[in-house]
Structure formats: C-alpha cells, structure tokens
Amino acid sequence: MSVPASSNRPSAALRFALYALMLLLAAMFVFPFLFMITASLRTNDAIFAHAGSIQAFLPTGPLTTANYSYVFGGGNVLHFFLNSVLITALTVGMGLVVNSLAAFSLARLEWRGRETVAALLVILLVIPFEAISVPLMLLVAHLPGIGLVAGKLVLTRSWLNTLYVQILPFVANAFSIYLFFQFFRGIPKDFDEAAYIDGATPLQVYVHVIVPSSKPVFATVSILQGLAMWNQYLWPVITVPGESARPLMVGMQQFFGHTTEWGNVMAYATIITIPVLIAFVVFQRWFVRSVIGSGVKG
Amino acid sequence: MSTGVTSRRNGRVALILGAPALGGLLLFLALPFVMAFALTFTDQRLVSGDHTRFIGWRNYERLLGISYIAQKPVEDPVDSESSSPTFVRVRDVTRADPDYRGYRPFTQVRSGAYRITILARDPDFLHSLINTFEFAFLVVPLQCAVALGSALLVNAGLRAQTFFRAVYFSPVVMSMVVVSIVWTFLFHRDLGSINRLLAFLTFGAAGHIDWIGDRATAMPAIAVMSAWQGAGFQMLIFLAGLQGISQELYDAARIDGATAWQRFRHVTLPGLRQTIAFVLVVTTIAALGLFTQVDVMTQGGPQNATSTVMFHAIQRGVREENIAYGSTVAVVYFALITSLILLQQALQRRWSK
C-alpha cells in the first residue's frame, strides 16, 4: 500500500481533463452573455447573418451603437432605469435601518414576549411571496395614497401604479431580520454591557457598538435585498400596469413584446445587466459570502 | 448581566425600535397571508360594485372538481372489425346530464372496450399542476447535478478556481427576464445557436426543433435555461459543504488505497448529505414557484404546455381580476410547499437517528 509522493495533487492527465471540463463549463455559462453583448452591437441583419457560427458570440465585423441610441432615444428606458434605481436604493437603504433595528431589539434588548416574536418571525420566513401576491394586490389596490396628477400632489384611493407600492411592502423583510438577528447574537455581550454602565442608551449602543462590528451582515443583506429588488418582476407586472412608475424589468418585457428588432432587445438587456455585473465584479467576494451565509444558516 | 433599570428602559425602547419592521411584516406579509385563506371562501373580485359574498367551498370545488365518464363503443354492425370503435361525443353526454354542468374534458384513457374521459371543473389548473411538477422533476436533478459538478471542479485544487467560481456564479446575478429573452433567441428554430450546434454535431440530422413553440420541448427548454441561471447559487452552497468535510478523511481513504471514485462515493457524498438535502428542498421550492420565464417566453403556451400553478394564479387572480379564485390557487400552492417542507423534516429526523 504505497502512497504516491504527489498524492494531494491530481495526476497530470487528470488535471488536463479537469481543466478542459472547467473551460467547457465556463463557455456554457459565458456564451449567452457574450451573445447578448455582441448582438446588442449589431444590426438585425448582421445578427441573423452570424447566428449560425461562433461569430454570434464574438463582436467582430462592423459594429454599431445604433441599438443603444434607439433604446435610449425612443423608449422611456432612462425613466424606467431611474425608477429601478430609486426602488432598489430606497428599499435597501430603509431595509438596512428598519430590519437591523428590529433584530437589535430582538437579539440584544430584554423585553417581555420577545421569544414569542422571534418564533413568529421564523414562521413568517416560510411564507413564499408568490402565495400572498394576489391578496396583497387586493390590499394595496384599496390603500389610500399620494399620487401626482397633472403636477399636483393629490390623495388617491389606491397604491397601484406608484413607486412606493414597489418599495414599502419590501422594506421590512423577515429573512433580513433573521440574518441580522443571527449575527447580532454572536457579538460578545460585554461590549454593550460596558456601554450601558457608562450610561449609553440602547440607540447609542446600536449606533456605536453593534453597527460598527456588523459590517459583513450589512453587506450580505444589501446584496441579497438589492439583487432581489433590481430583478423583481412578478410584483411590478401586476401592480404597475401604467408607464410612469414602471421599472426596467417590466419595461423590457413590454418592449420585447412589441418588437422584432433583436439588436434593440439585446441592447435593452445589456443596459439592465451591466450595473449588476459591475457590482458583481467589484464585490465578488461579498456576493460569495452572502450566498454561503444565507444558504448555510437558512 | 443587565440591571433592573436598563431592563425596564429597554422594554420601552425595544418596542419603538422593532415597531417599523414588525409593523411592515404584519401589514404586508401576515395580513395578506390571512386574507388569502379568508378570500377563498368569498367571491371577491378586484373591482366590483357588488358586495363580497361568502360562498363556502365553491372556489375549492371549482378548482379541484374532478369527474369521469366511462363509455362503451356505439354498436356498429357494418364494419366493427376494420374501423376503430366510435363513441358518443363527450360534449353530448355532459350537455344531457346536469350533474356534469361546468365540467370540461381533461384527458381520455382507454381501458378494454371502455373509453374513460376524465373531466374537471378547471382542467387548465390540472394541466398547470402537472406542468409544474414536470418542471420541478426536470430542473431539480439537472440543476443540482450541474451545481455539484461545478462545485467539485472549483474545489479540485486547480489554478484559477476563484475565477471559474465567479464565472459559474455570474448568471445568478442576471435577471430572469433578461435570461428568458436572451435564451428565446438561442432557442429560435431557424436562427438559434442551440439548433445550429445540434445540426453541426449531428451532421444536420437534428437541429430543426422549435424548442419553445413545441408542446413536447417547451418545458424541458425552460428547465435547461432555469438550471443554467440558478446552478451557481447552489454551487456555492455545495462548496461550503465540501469545505466542511475533514481533509483527514480523504487522507485516510488515500492511505487505504481508495480510488478517486471511491473517495467521492464514500467520503464526499456522505459528508454532503445534509447539504444535498437542503439544496434539493430549496431548489424544489423555487421550481414550484415558476412564473417569470413562462410569463416572458410562452404565456403558458403552446396549448397550455407551460402554464404553471403560479402562472394560473396570476392569470385568474389578477388578469381576470378574480381575486378570490386566484387566492384559492395560491393557498393550494402554499399547501404544496408546506407539505414538502414537513416531508423533508420528517425524512431528516429519520436520517439523523
């Protein structure tokens, strides 16, 4: 029973096979991206002409930015883009404050009934959004709100076709509270005890003790909630039939339904994807940690 | 240890700090959840001049109502040997019998001389239910296999594995709407790269498939695309599981002369048991909620082949404005998922004994 000297590393032949496999898999994951970007830079005719070869994925030959000019010029892409940015940023921003405060209250303060509330929270975790979307729509369709009619703020009888119908229902998030709660519980108790003895209020402890030592969980929650909001489709498609509050995803689906110009469609798709892709490349490490954190703990 | 003073003060503050989030969850999650159940017993519509009425189990009866007709062939003395047996048309039977009012044919089966027609009050829902399970049955093994395979690859101790890990994960950050539209082109019958590649590999024998326009291939095509988009997420969870397996076990197996396959079979797989169970359940739950891909790519077609439970719920509940009926579909969907989670927990309890 002899052990080869290089037992911890695969043999050269195996390594070669593994690299080949890894590259093949990478190609499968990357080609649709490349196709999208390449097609967005070509005319419809050029896309069809190159569709059958590897050139479909490689930006060769005459390229054009006409698709981008068309999408930005003709449609309301910029408007929809702004809507999506606002929706995502406000939901994530308010969500970080509201959910972490609730988790702080549950994990670090002592009050009657907090065990019950924490247990109820875990039950809420298993309710899929899909299962409540229809009654929630009925609810928001009959909530009083504020709307903009002819440049004036007026009271409305429904939340449909607004930006806040896409924001407010998602600020409080049971899963985010749960992630914060798990993290906060792991911070040594002496930290806040010391602050309390020095006369700090709970809010001061939250701001000066808990938040500074919880950066990873804030990043995790931002990424998970931000990605979910940016890519949200089901909810806006049912609550925002009009144009003024429409987010990018619904805008794209509508656009796709009304055109046969694939170049334009791919330009639209690229515009949606690029911001997330940049965020992904920059915060790659955090994306990975957030998924593993949410997956293993969840 | 907190003193009595801080504890009492905390009590007041705690409520204020927790109120916004807990209030939001109550209003936008707990309340609609309770509403979903309550609405199923009413005839609530989205906009209606009439008052909402209590109608008991009628929504459930309409959703789940199933019946059947068993028919003998009509005697045909002229050429009963040569031609296939003829039957009275189902429509004529259901019209004549008031018991069958509201039923539509769902499917037909032959049993001996009999022809049995299964009827349903809402055959579209039954199709959607079957389609949803078909999708889960296709996508879960595929996605988990790709995820486990890629996790093993980027964990094999090769160079550049962080780079490849990022590449495999990248589709996860891509929106499903974008993925659906890009793949609609890749699946295109004449222009799509998938058919072109098939034609190239089979020297032109295959490669004329209308992937999302054909009843037989539409759901498998959506499953392949969904696995492509989601596998990276599961890969990371498998990766975390793999790194949790002690290196000593592998070293011991090597000393005993175990081959790579034996090490995988007897060290890796048992070490991943919990992770595999978790990933399977998460993927199945996500698969049962299939909506976006269908809404963007096929609108449930061709001929109902890709309609799903969630698509049916939105179609009836929102687009036809029958909130009560849409809620009933959603409640059935929730029951489905809950039973799945309970089943998984029961299995896990048995395994860990």
Chain A residue numbers with beta carbons less than 8 Å from the beta carbon of B167 are 26, 29-30
Residue B153 has pLDDT above 50, yes or no: yes
**Predicted local distance difference test score (pLDDT) of residue B83:** 63
Question: pLDDT exceeding 70 applies to what percent of chain B?
Answer: 94
Report chain B residues whose CB lies below 8 A from the CB of A33.
170-171, 174
**Complex ipTM, two decimals?**
0.90
Predicted pLDDT of residue B180: 95
Q: Are B194 and A52 in contact (CB under 8 A)?
A: no
Give B157's pLDDT tier (boundaries 50, 70, 90). Answer: confident
Confidence grade of residue B10 (pLDDT, cut at 50, 70, 90): low
For the segment A144-166, the average pLDDT, to the nearest whole number, is: 85
- C-beta of residue A106 within 8 angstroms of C-beta of residue A114: yes
Contact status, residue B69 vs residue B90, Cβ threshold 8 Å: yes
Residues 67-96 of A with CB under 8 A from B: none
DSSP, residue by residue, B125-170: HHHHHHHHHHHHHHHHHHHHHHHHHHHHHTTSS-TTHHHHHHHHHH
pLDDT averaged over every residue in chain A: 88
pLDDT at A164 over 80: yes
Q: Give percent of chain B with pLDDT exceeding 90.
A: 50
Is A3 a residue whose pLDDT tops 60?
no
For residue B304, give the nearest of B186, B83, B134, B52 by alpha carbon. B134
Q: Given A14, A30, A134, which is nearest B318 (Cβ)?
A: A134
Q: Is the pLDDT of residue B76 over 80?
A: no
Res. A91: pLDDT tops 70 = yes
Contact residues for B54 (Cβ-Cβ < 8 A; gap 6+): B41, B42
Smallest CA–CA distance from A131 into chain B, residue: B330
pLDDT at A207: 93
- Determine the pLDDT at residue A178: 93
pLDDT reading at B78 higher than 70: no
A25, A121, A196 ranked by CB distance to B168: nearest: A25
- Asked whether the predicted pLDDT for residue B77 surpasses 70, the reply is no
Most confident of B60-74, B96-110, B145-159: B145-159
Mean pLDDT of B7-18: 75
- Greatest mean pLDDT among A87-101, A180-194, B155-169, B185-199 lies in A87-101
pLDDT at position A230, please? 95
Q: How confident is the model at residue B350 (pLDDT cuts 50, 70, 90)?
A: confident
Residues 62-101 of B with CB under 8 A from A: none
Best of A33, A101, A130 to mutate (most B CBs within 10 Å, chain B):
A130
| Chain B residue numbers touching A18 (CB-CB < 8 A) | 153, 156, 158
Residue B14 has pLDDT above 80, yes or no: yes
**What is the reported pLDDT for A260?**
82
- The predicted model gives B168-180 an average pLDDT of 94
Average pLDDT over residues B299-318: 92
Q: Tell me which residues of chain A, numbers 242 to 261, contact chain B at a CB-CB cutoff of 8 Å.
A: 249, 252-253, 256
Q: What is the pLDDT of residue A297?
A: 47
Of the candidate ranges A168-177, B217-226, B260-269, the one whose mean pLDDT is the lowest: B260-269
Chain B hits for A127, Cβ within 8 Å? 29, 33, 334
**B43 against B6, higher pLDDT:** B43
**Does the structure show a pLDDT above 80 at A149?**
no
Q: Give the pLDDT mean for B276-300.
A: 92
Is the pLDDT at B7 greater than 60, yes or no? no
Residue with tokens 């009425």: B53
Task: Give the gap in angstroms from C-alpha A183 to the nearest C-alpha of chain B.
Answer: 17
* Record: contact B10-A110, CB cut-off 8 A: yes
pLDDT of residue A295: 64
Write down the pLDDT at residue A75: 63
**CA angle centred on B208, ends B202 and B209, rounded to 5°:** 110
How much is the pLDDT for B5? Answer: 47
Render the burial of B312-321: b for 16+ CB within 10 Å, e for the rest: bbbbbbbeeb
* B114 has pLDDT over 90: no
Distance from CA of B99 to the nearest CA of A (A): 32
Closest CA in chain B for residue A174: B25
Say how many CB pairs under 8 Å bridge A and B. 287
Mean pLDDT of B177-198: 91
- How far apart, in whole angstroms, are the C-alpha atoms of residue A51 and residue A57? 9
Tally Cβ neighbours within 10 Å of residue A84: 24
Contact A263, A40 (CB under 8 A): yes
- Residues of chain B contacting residue A231, judged by C-beta atoms under 8 Å apart: 175-177
Nearest residue to B302 via CA among B139, B127, B116, B84: B127
Whether A172 contacts chain B with CB within 8 A: yes
Contact A287 B173 (CB under 8 A): yes
State the pLDDT at residue B287. Answer: 94
**Helix extents (H) in A231-283:** 234-239, 248-257, 262-282
Look at A32-36, A62-66, B75-79, B144-148 and tell me which has the smallest mean pLDDT. B75-79
The residue whose two tokens read 């702080």 is A104
pLDDT value of position A298:
41
Tell me, what DSSP letter sits at residue A242? S
Q: What is the mean pLDDT of residues A71-97?
A: 91
Judged against a pLDDT cut of 60, whether residue B3 lies above it is answered with no
Q: Where are the beta strands (DSSP E) in chain B?
A: 66-71, 104-111, 114-120
* pLDDT for A1: 40
Average pLDDT over residues B183-203: 89
Q: What is the pLDDT of residues A219-235, one digit of tens each?
A: 999 999 999 999 999 99
Q: What does the pLDDT average to over B85-100?
A: 81
Mean pLDDT (whole number) for A289-294 = 78
pLDDT value at residue B200: 86
The answer to whether B119 and B94 have CB atoms below 8 angstroms apart is yes
**Contact call for B20 and A35, based on CB within 8 A:** no
Specify burial of residue A147 (Cβ count, 10 A radius: 0-12, 13-18, 19+).
middle
Report angle CA A92, A125, A249 to the nearest 5 degrees: 45
- What pLDDT, on a 0 to 100 scale, did the predictor assign at position B80? 53
Contacts of A238 in chain B (CB under 8 A): 314, 318
